[in-house]
Amino acid sequence: MGRARDLFRYSATRLGLAPLMLWLIATLVFLLLRVAPGDPVDAVLGSRAPAAAKAAMRARLGLDQSLFDQYLSYLNGLVHGDLGQALINQEPVSKIIGNTLPASLELSVIALIAAAIVGLSIGFSGIARPEGSIDFSGRLYGLGTYALPPFWVAMLIQLVFAVSLGWFPVGGRFPPSLLPPEGSGFFLWDSLVSGNWPAFAGSIRHLVLPAATLALLLSGTFTTALRLNLRRTLRGDYVEAARSRGLSERQVILHHALPNALLPVLTIAGITVASLIGGALLIEVTFSWPGIALRLQEAINQRDYPVVQGIVVVIAALVVLVSVAVDLLVAALDPRVRY
């Protein structure tokens, strides 16, 4: 009962800090954008637009107000769930995020699953003979994929499998000749649910290269994490105790060492998925994947303040939520964790 109360208090504290973190991030983004050179009105109207038109737009967007008033107005909107409108085309920022976030989430989740399967399999495969050739290869794989420059890998994979071999599309998210499935914005899910098989096949084909690239880059982290944690847990007293009880090595590893070794990996997976939502920019740019990171980059180039602010705040909120969820999950699963 005491542990449950502690866990509740811990959860409440973590969740209570989340708005504070979001406020700090939102404030920082607001200020940094105002400091950056480049005028959003020029970006929209062009530098040659008449001064009157520029002034009118500045007034309409509230950019003629003091910085403090702009900040208050921004925070007020944020609190009420209003992320504003894009300066460039007055599209609601929430709609922009709604259109691009599913693309990034779909890519991230598929890549993460693939990375976990590949990375954990390789990390686990060497455990039978530590320092053996398989273990050494796994270590090399872990280090190698971690060290690879993402843009280089992405371009290489694109050139080989899309341009030279023509096995997969060079970029984009969906075949241009088909109509994207309507629904949640997760094309794989939407086409599956509606039984639209050409759309499903098209979505998979477009997903393979960016997801494989991301998975390759991430899998090394899983390999290294599992390998190190598994070796550490295999040296634990409780593992020795299990062995002394006459359990087979297979039972020792699968039932005693592996679950404990996977707990830190869960934390890594959480942090990875959180950072992936906004951090897959190079992959999205290389494969023209219309995700939230690519949209953020475009908005920065256009000095589209509301879009940049909205995307950054949403990404930050997701990162905070995922990391809190992972913390709580680990705390619930691992009785050794103290609050």
Partner 1 sequence: MAAFTQVGCQPSSPSQRITVASAGSISSLDPAQVSTVHSLQLLTAIGDPLYSLNDDGSLLPRLAASKPTISADGRLVTIPLRTDVRFHDGTRFDAEAMAFSLRRFLRIGTLSYVVGDRIKAVEVAAPHTLRLTLNRRSTSLEGLLTSINLTPLSPRAYAKHKDSFLHDNFVGTGPYRLTKFNEKQQRLEPFEQYWGEPPRNNGLDLISLSNSTALFGALRSGEVDVLLSASIDEDQRHALNQQAQRGDLNETVGPAMEIGYVTLLSNTAPLSDQRLRQAIALSLNRDEASERVSYGLRRPLRALIPPSLPGGGVASWPRHNPTQAKTLLRQSGYCQGTQLEVPLTFRSNVPADKLLALTWQAQVQRDLADCMVLKLDGVESTTVYRQLGEGAFKAVILDWLGSYPDPEAYLNPLLSCSDAEGHVCRDGEAAISGSFWSAPGLQKALQQSDSLRGTPRMEVLNAIEKLTVDGAAYIPVWLESPRSWSQRSLNPPEYDRSGFLRLAQLQRVSQKQGDD
Question: b/e per residue, 311-323, with b = 16+ CB within 10 A?
Answer: bbbbbbbbbbebb
Q: What is the closest distance, in whole angstroms, from the C-beta atom of residue 148 to partner 1 in the complex?
A: 18
Which C-beta is closer to partner 1: that of 132 or that of 198? 198
Determine if 49 is a binding residue for partner 1 (CB under 8 A).
Answer: yes
Question: Interacting stretch for partner 1, rule CB under 8 A, among 38-46, 69-77, 136-144, 211-219?
Answer: 38-46
Site for partner 1 in 52-111 (CB under 8 A): 53, 86, 88-91, 99
User: What is the enclosing helix (H) or strand (E) of 123?
Assistant: helix 93-125
If one asks whether residue 187 binds partner 1 (CB under 8 A), the answer comes out as no
The answer to whether 149 contacts partner 1 (rule: CB under 8 A) is no
Could you say whether residue 8 binds partner 1 (CB under 8 A)? no
Exactly one of 11, 65, 275, 288 binds partner 1 (CB under 8 A); that residue is: 288
* Contacting residues for 309 by C-beta, under 8 A, at least 6 apart: 26, 29, 30, 33, 74, 83, 84, 93
The Cα 191–Cα 187 span in angstroms is 6
Residue 334 binds partner 1 (CB under 8 A): no
Identify residues 193-222 at the interface with partner 1 (CB under 8 A): 201-202, 204-205
Say whether residue 134 binds partner 1 (CB under 8 A): no
Nearer to partner 1, 49 or 247 (CB): 49
Shortest Cβ distance from residue 179 to partner 1 (Å)? 7
188 binds partner 1, rule: CB under 8 A: no
Q: What span, in angstroms and rounded, lies between the C-alpha atoms of 88 and 40?
A: 9
Given the rule CB under 8 A, which of 21-29, 48-56, 142-150, 258-266 is the region that contacts partner 1? 48-56
Which stretch, 73-81, 138-146, 268-276, 285-293, contacts partner 1 (CB under 8 A)?
A: 285-293
Dist. CA 67–CA 73, nearest whole Å: 10
Q: For partner 1, which residue of 290, 327, 328, 329 counts as binding (CB under 8 A)?
A: 290
172 binds partner 1 (CB under 8 A): yes
Does position 284 bind partner 1 by CB under 8 A?
Answer: yes
From the list 233, 231, 264, the residue with the least C-alpha distance to 330 is 264
Task: Extract the tokens encoding 6.
Answer: 């502690």
CA–CA gap between residue 278 and residue 104 (Å, rounded): 8
Candidates 84, 138, 142, 169: give the one binding partner 1 (CB under 8 A): 169
Q: Which pair of structure tokens corresponds to residue 20?
A: 């504070």
Q: Which is nearer to partner 1, 155 or 317 (CB)?
A: 155
Q: How far apart are CA 174 and CA 196, in angstroms?
A: 13
- Please report whether residue 192 would count as binding partner 1 according to CB under 8 A: no
DSSP string, 26-75: HHHHHHHHHHSSS-HHHHHH-TTS-HHHHHHHHHHTTTTS-HHHHHHHHH
| Residue 301 engages partner 1 in binding (rule: CB under 8 A) | yes
Binding range to partner 1, per CB under 8 A, among 106-114, 166-174, 246-254, 265-273 = 166-174
Q: Enumerate the β-bridge partners of residue 85.
A: 92
Which residues have C-beta within 8 Å of that of residue 229, sequence separation ≥ 6?
Answer: 260, 261, 262, 263, 264, 265
Collect all residues with Cβ–Cβ distance below 8 Å to 133 and sequence separation of at least 6: none
* Nearest-approach distance from CB 201 to partner 1, in angstroms: 5
Residues that bind partner 1 (CB under 8 A): 37-39, 42-50, 53, 86, 88-91, 99, 155, 158-159, 162-163, 166-172, 174, 176-177, 179, 201-202, 204-205, 284-288, 290, 294, 298, 301-303
